[in-house]
Structure 1
């Protein structure tokens, strides 16, 4: 296990981090739209978004990546592995974040909405200035927990040939024939990414529990 192999693992780590960021930000944008649609009070929008969430939460992420990468190629839309996995993780994250944030919006006391309506605030300003700031605070522990799961889930991107940390580890292992050493390092790198986030999520959860007493 030399310097070149370790640098190759760090390159894989870089792509893992970038994929996590893209999936989380993209999923956050679409997830917010889904959450707002789910709480809009419009039956058609609520049914469509509920079906979307059920589809992506009820099927394996691995299958979703297969469909985006190989399924679209069957209809003539051949995507680069990076683009395909970015789209796959964005869709996957949007369903989960949309449901997390929908629950957080509904967890805001009804009196807040009623007070905003009494002040004649438009829906956009009501959500922007009153509801969403409180909902985001409520959702932070669950959102961070999902981000940890998303980072670990990026290992599935290797199945479509994308060289993230797990695939980089597999390539190095096949070259130097030391799988325990290589994947021990890979596991340690995942741990260094996820453990601080898990601690932060637990810290926020404890703070919120104290604040609500």
Structure 2
């Protein structure tokens, strides 16, 4: 007989959800930093930087996140670099997120009319001044909704970290199921918690898209 009450199951899942949230925040913050660097490299005039960025993005967008987690955890171990499941999960999700965020932000920058660049040159602004005062403020307005929307994918992506032994929400659900033999109850609660984490982000993305109404205003 299981010694776990419904409250015990829920409490343990909520405790594990803390690590899901923390891992998501680290992946989003790290991915934003790396993604911003990649975005500047991609829109630069140096062909070598553009090609390096393209290869990076193709690799991380074209391979499964699960495989990236395996490489980060087991691959680094084969090279003599001892990493914990936490470090490997944070690293893999950061690199994965940066590739997609960079593509989102590059598209936002390139969606601006070419006249913006031409006008800035007429005003005598250099490249950095153009980016700071003209291009980035407008691109940021376009980028906010898809960026918030992509954060949902990061949260759901943390579930794959359970495969390398990182105890987050999905892994905790599996362990509780093995102890209680109540899969429907346990995984229904896991799904509910994921929904409660992701739904506000999805609604925020939709709200920002409607509020900013970038496409409509541009039309």
Give TM class, smaller chain: over 0.9
User: Out of 203, 212, 218, which is 1:212 matched to?
Assistant: 218
Q: Which residue of 2 aligns with 1:120?
A: 124
Rounded to whole Å, the distance in 2 between the matches of 1:136 and 1:162 is 34
Q: Which residue of 2 aligns with 1:47?
A: 51
Where do 5+ consecutive residues of structure 2 fail to align?
none
- 3-state DSSP of counterpart to 2:44: coil
Q: Deviations over 1:110-158 (max 9, x none)?
A: 2222222222223223212221121121112221221111111110000
Q: Which residue of 2 aligns with 1:98?
A: 102
- 3-state DSSP of counterpart to 2:166: coil
Matched, 1:75 2:79: yes
Q: Deviations over 1:159-212 (max 9, x none)?
A: 000001110111111111111011111101111111111112112223314433
Matched, 1:13 2:14: no
8 A contact 2:56–2:99 mirrored in 1 = yes
Alignment: residue pair count = 213
User: Out of 63, 80, 86, which is 2:67 matched to?
Assistant: 63
TM-score by length of 2: 0.93
User: CA shift at 1:74, angstroms?
Assistant: 0.3
User: Out of 129, 137, 143, which is 1:139 matched to?
Assistant: 143
- Structure 1 stretches of 4+ moved >4 Å: none
TM-score by length of 1: 0.95
8 A contact 2:9–2:186 mirrored in 1 = no
Where do 5+ consecutive residues of structure 1 fail to align?
none
Which deviates more, 143-152 or 118-127? 118-127
Rounded to whole Å, the distance in 2 between the matches of 1:190 and 1:171 is 17
Matched, 1:157 2:161: yes
8 A contact 2:41–2:53 mirrored in 1 = yes
Rounded to whole Å, the distance in 2 between the matches of 1:85 and 1:125 is 37
Alignment of 1:188-207 (within 5 A): 188-207=192-211
Q: Which residue of 2 aligns with 1:174?
A: 178
